[in-house]
Copies of this chain bind each other. A is one copy, B any other.
Amino acid sequence: MWEKDYYEVHDKMYIGTDCIIFGFDNGVLKLLIFKRRIEPNVGEYSLIGSFVKLEESISNAASRVLHEITGLQNVFMEELKTYNAVERDPGFRCVSVGQYALIRIDDYDKDLVEKHGAMWYTFDELPDLVLDHNQMVEDAMARLRRKAKYQPIGLELLPEKFTLPQLQSLYEAIYQRKMDSRNFRKKVLSFGVLIKLEEKDKTSSRKGAFYYKFDYEKYKELLAQGIYFVV
């Protein structure tokens, strides 16, 4: 990695990042997709991405575009993998680092998103995307499913206050299967990382469901102990 002779060979290698942005919109998992307005590939659909600048880290680069597009800062984000096939980009040799982000779908700046030509799509209604972006989405979805097995995803995708039925519907959306509400509740509460609030959400039922919030401190402790959050 330090041999001088490689310097020249590599002066045409580019590195970028593409963001797979998940949102959860009452009961449905969605992805933020862009209709391209600039060359190349005008009019085609793609993920949002950027080249990585010399003076920024890859996650900086992703945060930068995410902020430009959604107005959000401090969004949860994690590296997925690199996409580096020699021929993946017909223009030139470019490695892209896929990063997936989880955002609260109520938080983002609607005007900004619309201005950039972005739209929310469900996983199965996704249009054809440029390059290997469909693959990226598929990989991100698989990763999200696996991640949900040992970390409470709800933290990032749900609003501050949420009900157990909401949390369950998020898990059902991720795993694509119905779960038993009694067992779900039992399991989720057994971790002791949820705090029950006095307030109720009356929008989805007559009885109303109590709001909960995460106990971040306890959650961190649990993770430190290496305890898994399998639902």
Could you list which residues of chain A lie within 8 angstroms of chain B, going by C-beta atoms? 1-3, 6-7, 9-18, 38-41, 49-58, 79, 81-82, 84-86, 91, 93-97
- Are B96's CB and A1's CB within 8 A? yes
Q: B49, B93, B97: which contacts A82 (Cβ < 8 A)?
A: B97
Complex interface: chain B residues within 8 A of A14 (CB): 6-7, 10, 13
- Are A13's CB and B52's CB within 8 A? yes
Q: B51, B54, B56: which contacts A1 (Cβ < 8 A)?
A: B51
> How far, in Å, is A139 (CB) from chain B's closest CB?
11
Take A3-B38, A79-B81 as given contacts and tell me if A13 and B54 are in contact as well, using a CB distance cutoff of 8 Å: yes
Complex interface: chain B residues within 8 A of A16 (CB): 1
Complex interface: chain B residues within 8 A of A6 (CB): 14, 50-51, 53
Closest to A95 in B: B15
Closest to A50 in B: B1
> How far, in Å, is A92 (CB) from chain B's closest CB?
9
- Are A10's CB and B15's CB within 8 A? yes
Complex Cα distance A10/B24, Å? 35
Complex Cα distance A48/B134, Å? 33
- Are A54's CB and B12's CB within 8 A? yes
- Are A58's CB and B84's CB within 8 A? yes
- Are B15's CB and A13's CB within 8 A? yes
Complex Cα distance A82/B97, Å? 8
List 15 extra interface pairs beyond A7-B14, A54-B86, A79-B81, CB under 8 A. Answer: A1-B49, A1-B50, A1-B94, A2-B40, A2-B41, A3-B38, A6-B51, A10-B15, A10-B51, A10-B52, A15-B95, A54-B93, A57-B85, A79-B82, A82-B82
Closest 7 CB pairs of A and B: A6-B51, A1-B16, A1-B49, A58-B84, A54-B93, A2-B40, A57-B84
> How far, in Å, is A131 (CB) from chain B's closest CB?
9
Most buried by B among A39, A81, A84: A84
